[in-house]
């Protein structure tokens, strides 16, 4: 086993802080990288060393040069940015640096949706009817139409590269085919420089369930149980929980077995997630894709297993002998993603400076990268924090999350906290009859409360005036609270 003594974290915000927390607990030094917007961020201040990235988080050569200067042994990519870039992994390994994640070969085989479907077929994992297109750009309108109708409406069209619900569209009517192809091809080219697409039968009322995989250094894979991520808006998850509720035990066992079988088939090692669509009407599941990295929702798996997944990732990367066969599920965990956006169902992003920030207290876990004074721009993902609770059962966990969200205060920008609380009390969510498109189709978002909005506006104005007084006078000597 070769110990890792210093890790460069090729990410930002809450996930950078979360990785640092584990690294520091293991006695491992950390290096942060940042763009101009993040120079005063919490993760930059908490790192052992920090370096500016003039060309951004996708600048592979500068990141490797910083590693060499800092004599970093390893890179942890977090999620997003370069976390699923096989070419980057090869450069890291060629430089003699450890990549904390799967091999480039495993990424090639499972990180692309087209390749992953082919591997799933070979491993006899259930798949929805569909087609893989290496380059969909030459297809003429008649060819697009034939392809879609042969599969059968509705279908989902998505970029083969990438993940997170980006560059995809649902086609429910023939008249939508051309516009959907044009949109997804345009977004796939912009985001991934690729025209490869996957077309699949779409289950209109499916749940999104997934299995956390962890492969040890010997490439023996284990299931760390399942999660439900069906509460989504615009193909983005906002509430995740583990284990997946209301899942028949036979289906659960088959789900875990198929995930391990596919991971073993491709020689996978380190953390990854197999994602599935589950049809409750037929008790059937179908492979969707694999995320060859740590997931945003890894937190709920940590709480029901007692594992620190980042620690396990580091141990596996060091070559340590690890085994997870005896893990048991303990209780129920649920996470809410707190995002900078309106709660009225439009999901319009919100930007600005955070002038008041107060976290709930008690038995909750909060992963965040923000504080008073943090500026939320439109440059990055709009997730501000993750609030996670762990209780004996789903009812207790949901109640605790609802209460904790009520104690959260974030002012200066809009957040989705009112929507999250409204959803947690929704009858369909409580009964687990919601599905991936429920928020778009049936869910009624909370109505604006003029009195509360006016009260919050007064608080924001108070904090702005207070901060201005400190800036001018150096203290609060010249400040009078006219709103007390």
Q: pLDDT higher for 460 or 358?
A: 358
Tell whether the model's pLDDT for residue 462 goes beyond 60: no
Which segment of 14-18, 100-104, 151-155, 463-467 scores lowest on mean pLDDT?
463-467
49/84 same-domain check: yes
353/384 same-domain check: yes
Report if residue 122 sits inside a domain. Answer: no
Examine the fold and report which residue of 201, 227, 255 is the final residue of a domain before the chain moves on. Answer: 201
Report if residue 160 sits inside a domain. Answer: yes
Overall number of domains in the chain? 4
pLDDT tens-place string over residues 38-61: 999 999 999 999 999 999 999 999
- Rounded to the nearest integer, the mean pLDDT of the chain is 92
304/391 same-domain check: yes
94/164 same-domain check: no
Cα separation, 271 vs 31, whole angstroms? 22
Q: What local confidence, expressed as pLDDT, does residue 111 receive?
A: 87
Report if residue 113 sits inside a domain. Answer: no
Tell whether the model's pLDDT for residue 452 goes beyond 50: no
Tell whether the model's pLDDT for residue 169 goes beyond 80: yes
Tell whether the model's pLDDT for residue 418 goes beyond 80: yes
Q: Best-predicted range by mean pLDDT among 89-103, 155-169, 450-464? A: 89-103
186/212 same-domain check: no
Q: Confidence class of residue 480 from pLDDT cuts 50, 70 and 90?
A: very low
Examine the fold and report which residue of 407, 422, 441 is the final residue of a domain before the chain moves on. Answer: 441
Which segment of 191-195, 250-254, 468-472 scores lowest on mean pLDDT?
468-472
212/176 same-domain check: no
Report if residue 117 sits inside a domain. Answer: no
Q: What local confidence, expressed as pLDDT, does residue 112 receive?
A: 85
Q: What is the mean pLDDT of residues 437-450?
A: 84
Report if residue 114 sits inside a domain. Answer: no
461/432 same-domain check: no
Q: Confidence class of residue 467 from pLDDT cuts 50, 70 and 90?
A: low
43/171 same-domain check: no
Q: In what order do the strands lie in the sheet with 98-99?
A: 49-52, 29-34, 6-9, 74-76, 98-99
Tell whether the model's pLDDT for residue 222 goes beyond 90: yes
pTM of the model: 0.86
Q: What is the mean pLDDT of residues 410-434?
A: 97
What residues contact 370, with CB distance under 8 A and at least 6 apart? 13, 42, 354, 357, 376, 384, 385, 410
Examine the fold and report which residue of 167, 184, 201 is the final residue of a domain before the chain moves on. Answer: 201
Domain that holds residue 332: 207-441
Q: Which CATH number goes with the domain that contains 157?
A: 3.30.1490.20
Q: Which CATH number goes with the domain that contains 80?
A: 3.40.50.20
| Backbone angle region of 215, left / alpha / beta, with phi > 0 → left and psi within -120 to 50 → alpha | beta
Q: What local confidence, expressed as pLDDT, does residue 457 receive?
A: 53
145/79 same-domain check: no
71/10 same-domain check: yes
Task: Please identify which residue in the block is written with the tokens 């009858």.
Answer: 427
Q: What is the mean pLDDT of residues 337-361?
A: 95
Report if residue 321 sits inside a domain. Answer: yes
251/147 same-domain check: no
229/95 same-domain check: no
């Amino acid at each position: 086993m070769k110990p890792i003594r210093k890790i460069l974290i090729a990410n930002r915000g809450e996930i950078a802080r979360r990785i640092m927390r584990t690294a520091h607990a293991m006695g491992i030094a950390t290096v942060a990288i940042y763009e101009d917007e993040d120079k005063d961020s919490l993760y930059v201040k908490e790192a052992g060393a920090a370096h500016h990235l003039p060309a951004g988080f996708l600048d592979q050569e500068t990141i490797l040069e910083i590693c060499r200067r800092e004599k970093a042994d390893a890179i942890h990519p977090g999620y997003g940015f370069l976390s699923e870039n096989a070419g980057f992994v090869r450069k890291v390994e060629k430089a003699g640096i450890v990549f904390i994640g799967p091999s480039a070969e495993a990424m090639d085989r499972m990180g692309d949706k087209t390749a992953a479907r082919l591997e799933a077929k070979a491993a006899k994992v259930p798949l929805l009817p569909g087609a893989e297109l290496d380059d969909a750009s030459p297809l003429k309108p008649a060819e697009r139409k034939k392809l879609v109708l042969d599969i059968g409406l509705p279908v989902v069209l998505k970029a083969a590269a990438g993940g997170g619900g980006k560059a995809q569209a649902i086609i429910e009517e023939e008249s939508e085919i051309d516009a959907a192809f044009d949109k997804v091809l345009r977004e796939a080219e912009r985001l991934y420089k690729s025209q490869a697409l996957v077309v699949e039968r779409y289950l209109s009322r499916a749940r999104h369930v997934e299995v956390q995989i962890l492969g040890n250094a010997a490439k023996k894979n284990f299931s760390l149980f399942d999660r439900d991520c069906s509460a989504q808006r615009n193909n983005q998850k906002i509430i995740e929980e583990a284990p997946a509720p209301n899942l028949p035990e036979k289906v659960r066992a088959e789900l875990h077995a198929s995930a391990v079988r596919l991971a073993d088939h491709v020689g996978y090692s380190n953390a990854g997630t197999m994602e599935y669509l589950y049809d409750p009407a037929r008790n059937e599941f179908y492979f969707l894709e694999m995320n060859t990295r740590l997931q945003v929702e890894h937190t709920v798996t940590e709480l029901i297993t007692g594992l620190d997944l980042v620690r396990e990732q580091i141990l596996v990367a060091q070559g340590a002998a690890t085994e997870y066969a005896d893990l048991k599920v303990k209780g129920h965990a649920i996470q809410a993603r707190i995002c900078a956006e309106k709660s009225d169902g439009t999901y319009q992003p919100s930007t600005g400076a955070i002038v008041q920030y107060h976290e709930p207290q008690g038995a909750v876990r909060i992963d965040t990268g923000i504080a008073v004074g943090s500026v939320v721009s439109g440059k990055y993902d709009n997730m501000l924090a993750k609030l996670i609770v762990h209780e004996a059962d789903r009812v207790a966990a949901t109640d605790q999350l609802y209460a904790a969200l009520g104690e959260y205060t974030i002012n200066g920008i809009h957040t989705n906290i009112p929507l999250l609380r409204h959803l947690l009390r929704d009858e369909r969510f409580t009964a687990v009859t919601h599905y991936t498109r429920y928020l778009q189709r049936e869910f009624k978002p909370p109505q604006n409360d003029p009195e509360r909005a006016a009260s919050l506006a007064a608080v924001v104005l108070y904090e702005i005036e207070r901060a201005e007084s400190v800036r001018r006078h150096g203290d609060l000597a010249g400040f009078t609270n006219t709103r007390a």
